[in-house]
Chain A
Amino acid sequence: MSFRSRGTLFSCMLLLLGACTSGDSTPVGTLTTQKIAARVAQQHLNRHLSAAVRTFDPLMNQDVPGTTVAQDLFEGLLRTDPAGKIIAGVAQQWECSVDGLTWTFHLRHNALWSNGDKVSANDFVYAWRRMVNPATTAPMAQELAPIVGASQIMSGKAAPQTLAVKALDDYTLQVQLNVPTPYLEYMLTTSFMMPVHEATVAREGRGWTRPGVMVNNGAFLLKSVSINGPIEMEKNPRYWDADAVRLTGVTYYALPDSSAATSRFLAGDLDVTDRFQMEDFDWLRNSLGAQVRISPYTGTVMLGMHAGKPPFDSKPLRRAMVLAIDREMITQHLMKGQYEAAYGIVPPLPGYPPFRPAWADLRDSDRIALARKYYAEAGYSPQHPLDVEFNYNSGNPEMNLVFDAMAAMWRQHLGANVRLAGEDWKVHLQNREIHKPRMFWWAWIADYPDPQTFMALPLTNGEQNYGRYHNAQYDAHVKAAMATASRDERNAQFNAAERVLDADAVAIPIYYYRTRHLVRDFVRGWEDNPMDNHLSRDLYLEMPGTQ
């Protein structure tokens, strides 16, 4: 039995427990008033991470757990508020030139490193040069490509000193970009754009992230780290906005098994969990009420089809495959209404009108009739059905359910035989990279809340273009959007590109992701936001019912 199947089994037990205690006056998972009062007095938050932190060096980080802890330990030029809105961080003010290519940041004078040194513009220059230096081997280095000189440095053709990031003085930083990058502000809140303390990194090498050695500028200090165990943080008294930080400390527990995290929440050990199993949703909602938080997340679950190889080099066939799927049935019934049906590859984003193709509003019978028409046009029939393999990562039981349903829909509506071929994650990654699968798993979570992160996927030379899609018109629209500084023009170009993509039907969007958290009712300052950023500095504990 796999670890994930065990999670399902555990969920069944949780469900049983929920059923057994549903008539009780004290629902399962409820803490006593005395316990809550003690926790509130202590102001110490216990948080869950869905995986172990790979590194505490913010520039070497590339995953969500690493970003979560980095946002507590470090502060970039900008940060996000509880609602996910971008606000001032180390930079007090900032401005952008009319052409969108030159950004100037004015740093606050009272920002300090944990050893008392002042945070200066040179700290950012050092960190970003370190980031793009190939010798650092920073996995997210490519994200700095919009900065002038970054690509040449990363390919070893120029020295890191040529990066167009200048400290005009100790508190003024200027950045030159190749193209207008409206999402730069968000990028500046992420871990790989955070400053690091040069003297400490130079002195300690890779060991600079150890507790007691690390010099950081965020709201919390790293107190202790135990391998595969808890990460302890305490409030940083030298943080420039320490007065606004109400927590005295935070402990992170890395638990990859979300059922184990749920049980730890119910036992009162965790105040916030990163996710819970979908099958637990109903009884958790009944037992915990508003402590169960589900909200839109900027990610799309979709499948890709290899447009350069048979059978999916046939556009009518691709269209038939897209149209034959009943997304509402999947999201509302199979996924218990926890997800939103997807009809385009870009999820709902702030400032970007979502694309909805005309076929999305067809009646089911009309949509299926259209799918059958395309299927026949592609040369397939009940006597000559499509027989194809779909390769995907088998490690997600929730997705297995969805894929079973999709295969059944294709069989029922078209007569097509789609064979499900689950494979190990690393095997799937490799197979996609060599463009082997005809039909493959192609989900994406936004690096930044901007359509570009999704629209760049199917670009002709895009690294994630596993299906070798090529349409010059699509590329032209996306590139025009990326080159303009006008928000309206950008949106219009992306929208036009989405229309081209929909007509070519190389992707089968299924649903948009949602976050699933358990958050105690005495945890305040938590607001759901599309990038799922929840900095501990904004959270605090308060007796329920108190305003």
Chain B
Amino acid sequence: MWRFLLSRLLSAIPTMLAIITLAFMLLRAAPGGPFDAEKEIGAEVKAKIEHAYHLDEPLPKQYLRYLVQLAHGDLGPSFQYLDNSVNQYIAEGFPVDLKVGGFALLLACLVGIPLGARAAWRRNGLVDRVAAAVSLVGVSIPVYVAAPLMILVFAVTLQWFPAGDWGGGAWRYLVLPVVSLALPYIAYVTRIMRASFIDVLEQPYIRTARAKGLGTRDILFRHALRPALMPLAAFLGPAIVGAITGSIVVETTFGLPGIGRSFVEGAFNRDYTMVMGVTILYGALIIIANLVADVMQALLDPRVRLH
């Protein structure tokens, strides 16, 4: 196991280097610069600013400088937000995305797993129909529709929850962003679990368990759950990253202080260091999440060997 982890982490180094190089080159190839503005700032001032950020150096030198900086854990200053570094933006913003994305996935699992299991157990029954409806709604309504709709109903009209803001991460502020982000994941998890449970429940050993007179709960949770979770484990790796990085829309709609907004605005404003920093973070996150998914699969199924 440890050898597997070490080898996967080592193999991640060239992948990360490729991500960094590609992102660096693509950003610099994009037309327009970080200090182009509607109002000209004057040639002398612009030259000074570009010198201060080393933008006047040849591109290879800039690239090497960035790599050395990165090796020291320094993502550089933001080109747009002068009072803070990219490290500060990520340190403050990433926990917000992590919390919202993490809770959304947790909610998706808490709702989707039992719902999918129950739907599979009583196919074409009431629960199955409800699960199908939930899945359809969750998949069909994108977050950018669900989030404003929830604000209008639960914040503006009923005034049960705040319409936005972070509130230090208090639960009242988390409910609407987490639920709106969780909706599609609830749908996916329910569908995956239903299909997976149906598959598992048709296995001979489940029939044997039934024949022996085991109860529903025992069959579902002692014998069927573990193998049924295998496809979910594979799904959760990319889903974790999707939930964390996909919260950009939720951030914008609810005014959450995550890094997604900085990432999108950074791309529009050619804030090279900000975009690079967040890209590197997201890249690392994908690698780690896939690794976690592989380990989870191995833990769930002894037949899976980690090499």
Q: Which A residues are within 8 Å of any B CB, using their own CB?
A: 1, 3, 6, 9-10, 13-14, 17, 21, 28-29, 52, 54-57, 60, 62, 134-135, 137-142, 154-156, 206-207, 209-210, 226-230, 253-257, 259-260, 263-264, 266-269, 395, 424-427, 429-431, 433, 447, 463-464
Specify which chain B residues have a CB less than 8 angstroms from the CB of A210 in the assembled complex: 83
Nearest residue, chain B, Cβ from A462: B40
A-B contact pairs, 29 of them (CB 8 A): A1-B144, A3-B264, A9-B144, A9-B145, A9-B148, A17-B152, A21-B157, A28-B157, A54-B80, A54-B82, A55-B83, A57-B83, A134-B45, A134-B48, A137-B49, A156-B44, A209-B83, A227-B262, A228-B89, A228-B251, A228-B259, A229-B165, A253-B165, A256-B252, A260-B148, A260-B254, A269-B164, A427-B31, A447-B39
A448 → chain B closest CB, angstroms:
13
Partner of A228, one of B32, B49, B83, B262: B262
Given A10-B148, A13-B148, verify A425-B156 contact (CB < 8 Å): no
Specify which chain A residues have a CB less than 8 angstroms from the CB of B269 in the assembled complex: 426
Q: Which of A134, A139, A142, A266 has the most CB of B within 10 A?
A: A139
Tell whether B277 is near chain A: CB-to-CB under 8 Å.
no
- The reply to whether B36 and A429 contact each other, CB–CB distance below 8 Å, is yes
Nearest residue, chain A, Cβ from B84: A227
- The reply to whether A55 and B257 contact each other, CB–CB distance below 8 Å, is no
Partner of A260, one of B30, B44, B164, B265: B164
B166 → chain A closest CB, angstroms:
6
Complex: A463 Cα to B42 Cα, angstroms = 9
Interface string of B141-157 (1 = CB under 8 A from A): 01011001101100111
Tell whether B81 is near chain A: CB-to-CB under 8 Å.
yes
Specify which chain B residues have a CB less than 8 angstroms from the CB of A229 in the assembled complex: 165-166, 257
- The reply to whether A55 and B82 contact each other, CB–CB distance below 8 Å, is yes
Nearest residue, chain A, Cβ from B47: A134
Complex: A209 Cα to B84 Cα, angstroms = 10
- The reply to whether B42 and A142 contact each other, CB–CB distance below 8 Å, is yes
Partner of A463, one of B40, B155, B254, B268: B40
Partner of A429, one of B32, B149, B159, B162: B32
Tell whether B283 is near chain A: CB-to-CB under 8 Å.
no
Specify which chain B residues have a CB less than 8 angstroms from the CB of A137 in the assembled complex: 45, 48-49, 52
- The reply to whether A17 and B156 contact each other, CB–CB distance below 8 Å, is yes
B206 → chain A closest CB, angstroms:
44
Tell whether B214 is near chain A: CB-to-CB under 8 Å.
no
- The reply to whether B148 and A54 contact each other, CB–CB distance below 8 Å, is no
Given A17-B157, A253-B165, verify A430-B252 contact (CB < 8 Å): no
- The reply to whether A155 and B89 contact each other, CB–CB distance below 8 Å, is no
Given A13-B148, A52-B81, A264-B164, verify A29-B45 contact (CB < 8 Å): no
Specify which chain B residues have a CB less than 8 angstroms from the CB of A260 in the assembled complex: 148, 164, 252-255
Complex: A95 Cα to B265 Cα, angstroms = 45
Specify which chain A residues have a CB less than 8 angstroms from the CB of B256 in the assembled complex: 228
Complex: A447 Cα to B40 Cα, angstroms = 13
Specify which chain A residues have a CB less than 8 angstroms from the CB of B251 in the assembled complex: 228
Nearest first, the 7 A-B pairs at minimum CB distance are A426-B32, A229-B257, A267-B163, A228-B257, A463-B40, A55-B82, A10-B148
Interface string of B230-243 (1 = CB under 8 A from A): 00000000000000
Specify which chain A residues have a CB less than 8 angstroms from the CB of B40 in the assembled complex: 142, 463-464
Nearest residue, chain B, Cβ from A433: B36
B25 → chain A closest CB, angstroms:
17
- The reply to whether B82 and A266 contact each other, CB–CB distance below 8 Å, is no
Q: Which of A13, A154, A229, A268 has the most CB of B within 10 A?
A: A229
- The reply to whether B45 and A263 contact each other, CB–CB distance below 8 Å, is no
Q: Which residues of B in the span 171-185 have a Cβ within 8 Å of any Cβ on A?
A: none
Nearest residue, chain B, Cβ from A133: B48
Specify which chain A residues have a CB less than 8 angstroms from the CB of B159 in the assembled complex: 267-268
A76 → chain B closest CB, angstroms:
20
Complex: A1 Cα to B248 Cα, angstroms = 13
Tell whether B99 is near chain A: CB-to-CB under 8 Å.
no
The A-B contact count (CB < 8 A) is 172
- The reply to whether B44 and A227 contact each other, CB–CB distance below 8 Å, is no
Specify which chain B residues have a CB less than 8 angstroms from the CB of A230 in the assembled complex: 165
A447 → chain B closest CB, angstroms:
8
- The reply to whether A226 and B45 contact each other, CB–CB distance below 8 Å, is no
Tell whether B246 is near chain A: CB-to-CB under 8 Å.
no
Nearest residue, chain A, Cβ from B34: A426
Specify which chain A residues have a CB less than 8 angstroms from the CB of B194 in the assembled complex: none
Complex: A155 Cα to B32 Cα, angstroms = 24
Interface string of B100-118 (1 = CB under 8 A from A): 0000000000000000000
Complex: A54 Cα to B149 Cα, angstroms = 31
Specify which chain A residues have a CB less than 8 angstroms from the CB of B191 in the assembled complex: none
Given A227-B93, A257-B253, verify A263-B42 contact (CB < 8 Å): no
Specify which chain B residues have a CB less than 8 angstroms from the CB of A395 in the assembled complex: 268
B118 → chain A closest CB, angstroms:
33
- The reply to whether A6 and B32 contact each other, CB–CB distance below 8 Å, is no
Tell whether B261 is near chain A: CB-to-CB under 8 Å.
yes
Q: Which of B33, B48, B254 has the most CB of A within 10 A?
A: B48
- The reply to whether A13 and B44 contact each other, CB–CB distance below 8 Å, is no
Complex: A150 Cα to B258 Cα, angstroms = 41
Tell whether B249 is near chain A: CB-to-CB under 8 Å.
yes
- The reply to whether B32 and A29 contact each other, CB–CB distance below 8 Å, is no
Complex: A155 Cα to B81 Cα, angstroms = 25
Nearest residue, chain B, Cβ from A66: B82
A143 → chain B closest CB, angstroms:
9
Partner of A154, one of B44, B156, B258: B44
Complex: A156 Cα to B252 Cα, angstroms = 43
B56 → chain A closest CB, angstroms:
13
Complex: A46 Cα to B261 Cα, angstroms = 21
Nearest residue, chain A, Cβ from B258: A228
Complex: A142 Cα to B48 Cα, angstroms = 14
- The reply to whether B262 and A263 contact each other, CB–CB distance below 8 Å, is no
Specify which chain B residues have a CB less than 8 angstroms from the CB of A257 in the assembled complex: 252-253
Specify which chain B residues have a CB less than 8 angstroms from the CB of A17 in the assembled complex: 152, 156-157
- The reply to whether B45 and A154 contact each other, CB–CB distance below 8 Å, is yes
Specify which chain A residues have a CB less than 8 angstroms from the CB of B268 in the assembled complex: 395, 424-426
Complex: A258 Cα to B5 Cα, angstroms = 46
Q: Which residues of B in the span 48-85 have a Cβ within 8 Å of any Cβ on A?
A: 48-49, 52, 80-84
Q: Which of B44, B84, B148, B149 has the most CB of A within 10 A?
A: B148
Interface string of B249-286 (1 = CB under 8 A from A): 10111111111011011001110000000000000000
Complex: A395 Cα to B92 Cα, angstroms = 28
- The reply to whether A206 and B144 contact each other, CB–CB distance below 8 Å, is no
Complex: A139 Cα to B38 Cα, angstroms = 12
Tell whether B88 is near chain A: CB-to-CB under 8 Å.
yes
Complex: A227 Cα to B254 Cα, angstroms = 15
Tell whether B41 is near chain A: CB-to-CB under 8 Å.
yes
Partner of A263, one of B39, B152, B261: B152
B226 → chain A closest CB, angstroms:
40
Q: Which of A207, A255, A259, A427 has the most CB of B within 10 A?
A: A255
Specify which chain B residues have a CB less than 8 angstroms from the CB of A52 in the assembled complex: 81, 261, 265
Specify which chain A residues have a CB less than 8 angstroms from the CB of B49 in the assembled complex: 137, 139
Specify which chain B residues have a CB less than 8 angstroms from the CB of A135 in the assembled complex: 48
Complex: A21 Cα to B30 Cα, angstroms = 47
- The reply to whether B151 and A426 contact each other, CB–CB distance below 8 Å, is no
Specify which chain B residues have a CB less than 8 angstroms from the CB of A10 in the assembled complex: 148, 253
Tell whether B170 is near chain A: CB-to-CB under 8 Å.
no
Tell whether B37 is near chain A: CB-to-CB under 8 Å.
yes
Given A256-B252, A425-B268, verify A263-B44 contact (CB < 8 Å): no
